[in-house]
Structure 1
């Protein structure tokens, strides 16, 4: 057995720090009375010894374990008052994870022994539970990771095309990925996946939560699991199920390989709540270390949690040490794990102070001033379920935000809803009505029509009702209104006419995303026609409902992949489609102009915009120089053909037909169309015309 001795250590940095002689342990708890470090065997099965952390300064408990090395398996037991009515839930019989742990050992097993109270006690009087949980609990592991080998090369916001995917779902069924890598971090950076990313022209991969998470007990009891992963328990640890050899450096290797191939990696992070749940949840880490500091508690009844997340608890970022933990975690994922940015789940929570959301909150200000974090991409999901929780457009620069107004408006337009032309144009224009303030630019808008949460594009044109029966909640979960249309048959069909129409509508929506000002986000699998069989809340389905079907005969795959590749190339060739500032007519500060056209060939006037039944509009964007290139996008959502007169554009004799969603995208030929003529738009069609002058593109 190793010979260890405990000595006074250092309060900072928090977590563990390794040197040649031992390991320093540091843990924040403002209300603890004593902290014990528990050392386990290398498998985490047997507790070998305990040491009391000998020092406490500024509420940080610390000690230096001489003789310890990287690889040590450990946990904490924290002593203090068990007084839920006052917000304190200390229970030293429960082994706790280090909030700063960089690696974990073992498998978590659900048991009533994780509860700090006796399971059969009434909610108003939770009796203290003295049973030990160590044998069914994860343990922390001391590691000393190296920094990534390949430096980040950021992609400018205006050149960014985001591809949102799930670590397991991306490769679990991909036969081109070796079986041992399928469903893992290393599967994502396999050469076959990199070839696909290049083929469709994306620049940035955004992964659903990769920090260690747990499945809720109610899912476990139904033989389901939290597939999405929005239930974090360790903010510094890559999720173990995505590691093929149980070594956290696999995440770093994935990032290095993707960086080497020219791609960015963003990760979806969940700092708004933890897997410890509500007042009846388990004691796994934060609750047992210092419940009253780590969580927002109900001021009048501290036994209960403020639940602005809908997940049982809310992390208290108003506390400086909790804010410090989140900031340290973010810096770790950038500096050590190598990521290029973050998408923040329920980000309004993070900007909340006791008085409500504040764009100058401690967290938002901390991000802005941080010399490392203000160099990476930060994306907000700008809502929560608390009072005043919807904050689209309310985040400060340099934040970008998921734009649900874009999602809903574009869905409704292509569904055929009437009176939407003005709203449709505002969204394509970059949602200047929402974001053009305080120095924000079009890339503040993350334009998406589908995401992990809700329908895929395939299902958006195939189902009008949710089909979530497999979730075990009697089909009551998930949104009841999805702004979708099935075109005559609910779900799968062999009707060729309906299938052709559905394909065209997917092409129209995919085209709209890529032709809009702002940052496009594509849901992984939409480019191969992925279906979730009508499930619009597939968070608990770790199966073929969520895994991408990479079979070559997948419905629509060839057509949609070719179209996305064409659209991505268009954005690269014509920077005005992703301009770095909002474009306004005759703006002297801009070298790009924008004009909206009626199907008569005339510029849109007020009466055209407000014609209730109008469903056709043209969008011309061009450089101001005499020989500048032009792109003319025409959108027709009507169910009948319509004549469109092409307007007279200076120095344009012929248009190249880059996209026509009524034709196949697989054909690489680019037809030419004489200018100043009338064309017939087929029902529900997008057409993109270009006139390119080499070397005359507007500056970025």
Structure 2
């Protein structure tokens, strides 16, 4: 805590407690005046103070006799010139962009978007609080090819019978032993928490009886959503500490590309009211640019936005111990008026920030703006979600012709994407299913999307899902169809675990979670997305755990170096690709558009593993290379005879006789 005299220095943004009071500071370029409004516990305004204009868009005021627990919001006045991007409206109460905590969730109301309508009763109030003691910067090492577990906090824990009801659906649920033991049994390297910053529902959802279930519509960047974190940042800190104690890292999925203020008809909640023209990108006519598909795009080329993003990231690292970040629609961070650049200042500042020096950085490398697909184009420090791996693995098992070679390339680390500039290591995050799209169970049960419950006449969501239904669309009671679907689901899981690079598994895919064919379930905060712990596919869970354990113990699978072809595997980073007869694959074999089976052999003789992939519908015998040791089954279903059932992935390991 600083004393009031030290405030002669440039103020910290937000609310900072000092000896004798609180200093409030906010950036509102082009505003003519800014006030801070104080509220009591009954939500009645108790005082209003005008902030001094310090120049360069910065406003600040010291309020004496105020301390921790005070509740506040800002009001900003200035020009109303929509054609120039200015939308100042002093009737709107605004949440501090640097608020560390808010007193309630955001709830959409049409009045939030009405010019001239006071919104004090509708908007959450920021809460003044001391920062927690900063945590040390050291982070536990994570293997480069570890398992990342994508986890929606509420949907994952809301129905868990072994968590007290009061903590279900919150970050506190992640501290309980049953949750941690589930993650440990899967050898999870790091959980990736879907957005936990405070969000607001899109305005079209309430009339449909729906609400946002994913959190990708944030208003604040530092303050957590009270529904997930009733205790604020302390709840996240406790969850991270519990997971760290179990050897599990924590990655935050962050949305620094747009906010829930949406398009010009959306609510004014924070940045729009402080300086719409500064914080959001506009075209020459003052129209919001929509490179996100969400109504607005943060101007990440402006220092005010960059400072806010970096402050949020540092906050989560120092206050909660977060290990890394996954950036939703990451090209937005590298955009300016000329398009995307991997050398953009926002990206450089993230990479070079000393507080973030050990943080893992993961890009979702696409947005919907011009030139928005940037897979493989982020810097060497970044991992990237690899949708080519997702689609090629699916298409191989769907039975598409000519996919064998590309499937092998994905298994080997996708050097055709990440090998630019002579790179020797992959930066791929391989996945076959994620929150956005079909669940793994639905990939093999639905050929087309079924999003009718979203209220958009099934128009939303991807149409090309690289999925199949094994003869019947949707639910089936036919034992043969159910067995075929289960075999295909296991083949997808095993292929993921057999691939080089980091791998991502979405919570529930390991035990059979289905969304009924909905591939865009963002608005389904209900049984469609809640994980049902009373209906677990125990056999699939055991299968996934077995592959997870094998992968975690095999450096041959968790290394990040690209696999290079070899006539016979000679070291950890060479792969021999064999026909079922045990002969090296030739160009003719790779070009065989109907190839059903091949074997990948990794490692040195005597220490090798062999993984056979059979996408055919008949059993195939695979001949393994001669061995100075002994080939022994290593994963479920593998046998001493080298027989590979239809639609299966089996693995053998060399061990001394």
Give the TM-score normalised by structure 2.
Answer: 0.95
Give the conservation status (yes or no) of the 8 Å contact 2:323–2:360.
yes
- Aligned residue in 1 for 2:240: 255
Whether the aligned pair in 1 keeps the contact of 2:33 and 2:53 (CA below 8 Å) is: no
Q: 1:145 to 1:298 in 2, by over 3 A?
A: same
Shift of 1:521: 0.6
Q: 2:190 aligns with which of 168, 183, 204?
A: 204
CA-based RMSD: 2.2
Distance between the aligned counterparts of 2:538 and 2:439, measured in 1? 17
Matches within 5 A, 1:625-640: 627=606, 629-640=607-618
Matches within 5 A, 1:321-332: 321-332=304-315
Q: Helix, strand or coil for the counterpart of 1:19?
A: strand
Q: 1:559 aligns with which of 522, 539, 543?
A: 539
CA shift, 1:113, in A, is 2.6
CA distance in 2 between partners of 1:141 and 1:590 (Å): 57
Aligned to 1:162: 148
Q: Partner of 1:688 in structure 2?
A: 651
**Distance between the aligned counterparts of 2:570 and 2:262, measured in 1?**
51
Structure 2 CA distance, aligned partners of 1:109 and 1:429? 47
Which runs of 5 or more structure 2 residues have no equivalent in the other structure? none
Counterparts of 2:105 and 2:619 in 1: how far apart (Å)? 60
Q: Compute the displacement of 1:55 (Å).
A: 4.0
Which of the numbers 330, 337, 340 marks the counterpart of 1:347? 330
| 1:279-313 deviation per Cα after TM superposition (whole angstroms, max 9, x unaligned) | 221211111101111000112x10x1010001000
Q: Do the aligned residues in 1 keep the contact of 2:145 with 2:500 (CA within 8 Å)?
A: no
Select which of 360, 363, 367 maps to 1:377: 360
Q: Provide Cα deviations, 1:321-374, integer angstroms capped at 9, x if missing partner.
A: 211111111111111122111110000111112111101001111122111213
Q: Distance in 2 between matches of 1:251 and 1:276?
A: 25
Q: How many residues align?
A: 653
Q: Is the 8 A contact 2:621 2:644 kept in 1?
A: yes
2:96 matched to 1:98? yes
Check whether the contact 1:7–1:65 (CA below 8 A) recurs between aligned residues. Answer: no
Query: Of residues 527, 533, 548 in structure 2, which corresponds to 1:568?
Result: 548
Matched position secondary structure for 2:516: coil
Q: 1:154 to 1:132 in 2, by over 3 A?
A: same
Tell me which of 229, 251, 269 is aligned to 2:254.
269
- Name the residue aligned to 2:347: 364
8 Å CA contact 1:383–1:392 kept in 2: the answer is yes
Give the direction of change, closer, same or farther, for the CA distance of 1:6–1:580 in structure 2 (3 Å limit): closer
Give the match for residue 296 of structure 2. Answer: 313
Deviation digits for residues 56-83 of structure 1 (CA, Å, limit 9, x no counterpart): 1332111111211011100111111111
1:581 corresponds to which residue? Answer: 561
What are the Cα deviations for residues 242-281 of structure 1, in whole angstroms up to 9, with x where unaligned? Answer: 13x4444112111111111211111111010001011221
Kindly indicate whether the alpha-carbon contact (under 8 Å) linking 1:150 and 1:259 is maintained by their aligned counterparts in 2.
no
Distance 1:31 1:7, change over 3 A: farther
Q: Report the Cα offset of residue 189 of structure 1.
A: 2.1
Pair 1:19 & 2:4 matched:
no
Distance (whole Å) between structure 1 residues aligned to residue 105 and residue 549 of structure 2: 45
Specify the SS of the correspondent of 1:50.
Answer: strand
Which secondary structure state, in structure 2, belongs to the residue aligned with residue 211 of structure 1?
coil
Aligned partner of 1:529 among 506, 512, 515:
512
> What residue is the counterpart of 1:35 in the other structure?
34
For residues 441 and 138 of structure 1, what CA distance do their matches in structure 2 show?
A: 49
Report the secondary structure of 1:194's partner residue. Answer: helix
Match of 1:278 in 2: 263
Measured in 2, the distance between the counterparts of 1:490 and 1:591 equals 43
In the alignment, the residues of structure 2 paired with residue 112 and residue 493 of structure 1 have an alpha-carbon distance, to the nearest angstrom, of 43
TM-score for both structures, normalised by structure 1: 0.90
Q: Which ranges in structure 1 are unaligned for 5 or more consecutive residues?
A: 118-128, 664-669, 695-700
**Distance 1:174-1:252 versus aligned 2 partners, 3 A rule:** same
The Cα of 1:380 is off from its aligned counterpart by: 0.5
- The change in CA–CA distance for 1:469 and 1:80 in structure 2 (over 3 A counts) is same
Query: Which residue number corresponds to residue 182 of structure 1?
Result: 168
Work out whether residues 396 and 438 of structure 1, in 8 Å CA contact, stay in contact via their aligned partners in 2.
Answer: no
- Matches of 2:597 and 2:560, distance apart in 1: 27
* TM-superposed deviation, 1:166: 0.4
Q: 1:450 to 1:351 in 2, by over 3 A?
A: same
Distance 2:424 2:298 in 1: 31
Answer yes or no: is the 8 Å Cα contact 2:258–2:298 preserved in 1: yes
